[in-house]
Amino acid sequence: MTARATRTAPYDWRFDSGRLCLDLVATADVPWSTGRQEPLAGEGGLGSWLVGARLVPAGTPLAAVDGRWVERFVELRGRLGQLVRAEIDGRFAESALERVNTLAAGAPPAVRAVRDSRNGTLVWTLATAPECGQLLAAVARDAVELLTDPLARARLRECEGESCRRVYLDTSRGRRRRWCSSEVCGNRERVARHRRRVAATARA
């Protein structure tokens, strides 16, 4: 299931890291709301992220998503962050690796193709109501697949943008991508360079 962008409230989740597991890691870098609420908590939090990440289809009842689900996804997010950054730095993070392996051993949710009642086209749905462990397993398995693929692993990068630590997969030609997003951090860098040039000209 490929991640894609969607608009949520109160945050605009981004799904441009290149992998599902990295998109989860990126939720740690969402600006904190008033009161420093965990971004995945509350209305428009984890449930909206699950839909945006295409772990569950839009319209799936998510009444079961509660604080415990948030805690478990936050815990996996932290382990994944430790693991992928250790790989980038050439370090080991064995405790994080063991936890990700444990979660990946679970079964991801079963999916089915069904007819859309409006136009008859095939769409996907879950075979049963989503369970937290199944969704965690899907994210953890994506991490295992990423980190055991030498070509994909070599493309792991950490954004060079100021105050940004997002990890992404560099799929650019020549592997010269410097930012998690050219439109976000890349644009900020270009604006900062322009301001520095203007200031230098003014001083001269």
The confidence score (pLDDT) of residue 25 equals 97
What are the CB-based long-range contacts (under 8 Å, 24+) for 74-80? 74/38, 74/40, 75/99, 76/24, 76/100, 76/103, 76/136, 76/139, 76/140, 77/24, 77/25, 77/27, 77/28, 77/40, 78/28, 80/21, 80/22, 80/24, 80/25, 80/139, 80/140, 80/143
Residue type, 46: L
Predicted confidence at residue 7, as pLDDT, reads: 38
Residue 168: per-residue pLDDT? 93
Rounded Cα distance between 4 and 106, Å, is 24
- Give CA–CA dist 56/27, Å, rounded: 17
CA within 13 Å, CB half, 78: 7
Taking each continuous run of H as one helix and of E as one strand, the counts in the chain are 7, 4
pLDDT for the residue numbered 165: 84
pLDDT of residue 9: 43
User: Considering the entire predicted model, what is its pTM?
Assistant: 0.83
The two tokens of residue 4 are 């894609």
Q: What pLDDT shows up at residue 6? A: 40
pLDDT of amino acid 31: 59
Query: How high is the mean pLDDT in each 10-residue block of the chain (204 residues)?
Result: 41 87 91 66 88 95 94 98 96 97 97 94 96 98 98 92 86 77 63 57 66
| 18 Cβ contact list (under 8 Å, min separation 6) | 155, 168, 169, 170, 171
| Residue 116, Cβ density class (10 Å: 0-12 exposed, 13-18 middle, ≥19 buried) | exposed
The pLDDT score that the predictor gives to residue 78 is 97
